[in-house]
Amino acid sequence: MEEKRSSSSIWRTAALLNVSLVAGMAGATLCATGAEAQEKKPTAREVVAAIQEHIGVPWMSKTVDTFKAGNPDTPVTGIAVTMMATLDVLQRAAANGQNMIITHEPTFFNHYDDKPEGMDENDAVWKEKRAFIEQHGLVIWRLHDHWHRRKPDGIQAGMTHALGWEKYQNPENQNLYTLPETTLEKLAADVAKQLDTPVMRVVGNPEMKVTKIALNPGYTGFVRETHELEMDNVEVLLVGETREWETVEYAADAVSEGKRKALIVIGHVPSEQAGMEECARWLKTFVKNVPVEFVPTKQPFWTLEQRMTHH
């Protein structure tokens, strides 16, 4: 009897061990499945769908906010957010393992990112850029129209923050600011310092006392720019870029007529750069399983004064 009980006990112990082993293996399998689920990377198309869900404005059917290069179904390893997808930005993104680039401005030299006007398919610069994108499996998507349509405008919000002008902003018109009194020269110097850009051009009397400012990042065109310069509550208009034979000439004529008006041309890249840094911060609030990084676009210009200083 003792031998039978001992034998029975051995079998029960073996059975329990077997059950434990199976349960352990099942748990390990579930953990592995969970880990795999966590590691599953979204596709570029899925990232865009999340952006459309969170952007806060109706998505337009006619928009430049579309894929510009690459396969939208590519799993995303990292997201580079930038103001302009220059080759330099693409090279840095690829080196950092970021295969999705979200850019505010065009990649291929015109607003719609189609065939650049008058450019042959074999143009050396355009061809090499397309080849780099393909060779590195990059996916490029543009976020322009809807980032501007947000309330507040995403670019304007980022630039206002970078300049430290939140408390001076007009609540009824986000482009207008009332600053503590300063001179035009000091204002230009402060903006250059805050935006870390030495390349800036100014039309107007450097000693003019100013408080009433309008800020138009990027390019907004002659009609809007001149309407704002005409306003009584605008002494200085800051723009990203503008045509010299339009708004620049208008501002110069206003100065010659003795009007208290001035124009500061910041440059397109620095005038919107902080707005896309704001975009990267916003993306991180809901894109959690893929690293998001702001990759600044380098200032394309240098000045003779810079060169002389460094030598």
Regarding whether 178 and 240 lie in a shared domain, the answer is: yes
308 versus 211: the higher-pLDDT residue is 211
**287 with 47: CB under 8 angstroms?**
yes
Q: Quick check: is 59 in a domain?
A: yes
With a cut of 60, say whether residue 25 has pLDDT above it.
Answer: no
Q: Quick check: is 51 in a domain?
A: yes
Q: Taking all residues of the chain, what is their mean pLDDT, rounded to a whole number? A: 90
What is the structure's pLDDT at 306? 80
What is the structure's pLDDT at 40? 86
What is the structure's pLDDT at 19? 35
What is the structure's pLDDT at 133? 98
Taking residues 122-139, report their average pLDDT.
97
DSSP states along 19-64: HHHHHHHHHHHHHHHHHHHHHPPPBHHHHHHHHHHHS-SPPPSS-S
Instruction: Count other Cβ atoms within 10 Å, centred on residue 69.
Output: 18
End-to-end CA distance of the chain: 102
pLDDT band for position 38 (cuts 50, 70, 90): low
Regarding whether 221 and 89 lie in a shared domain, the answer is: no
What is the structure's pLDDT at 310? 76
Regarding whether 133 and 86 lie in a shared domain, the answer is: yes
Regarding whether 82 and 9 lie in a shared domain, the answer is: no
pLDDT above 70 covers what percent of the chain? 87
Distances (CA, A) of 256 to 78, 180, 228, 234: 52, 26, 18, 17
Q: Quick check: is 131 in a domain?
A: yes
Alpha helices, H only, 105-214: 124-135, 145-149, 154-163, 184-194
Q: Quick check: is 307 in a domain?
A: no
Regarding whether 200 and 130 lie in a shared domain, the answer is: no
pLDDT band for position 112 (cuts 50, 70, 90): very high
Q: Quick check: is 302 in a domain?
A: no
Q: Quick check: is 247 in a domain?
A: yes
Distances (CA, A) of 125 to 60, 87, 209: 32, 10, 46
Report CA torsion sign: 180, 183, 186, 192. Answer: positive
Regarding whether 90 and 126 lie in a shared domain, the answer is: yes
With a cut of 90, say whether residue 146 has pLDDT above it.
Answer: yes
Regarding whether 227 and 133 lie in a shared domain, the answer is: no
Regarding whether 175 and 228 lie in a shared domain, the answer is: yes
Query: Tell me: the pLDDT tens digits for 239-278?
Result: 999 999 999 999 999 999 999 999 999 999 999 999 999 9
Taking residues 106-133, report their average pLDDT.
95
Q: Quick check: is 97 in a domain?
A: yes
For position 174, which CATH number holds?
3.40.1390.30
Regarding whether 144 and 70 lie in a shared domain, the answer is: yes
In a 10 Å sphere around its CB, with 0-12 CB exposed, 13-18 middle and 19+ buried, how is residue 282 labelled?
buried
Regarding whether 145 and 49 lie in a shared domain, the answer is: yes
Taking residues 15-28, report their average pLDDT.
38
Q: Quick check: is 308 in a domain?
A: no
Domain coverage including residue 118: 44-149+273-294
Regarding whether 171 and 79 lie in a shared domain, the answer is: no
How many domains is the chain built from? 3
Query: Tell me: the pLDDT tens digits for 56-70?
Result: 999 999 999 999 999
What is the structure's pLDDT at 30? 33
Taking residues 186-194, report their average pLDDT.
98
Regarding whether 55 and 15 lie in a shared domain, the answer is: no
pLDDT above 90 covers what percent of the chain? 83
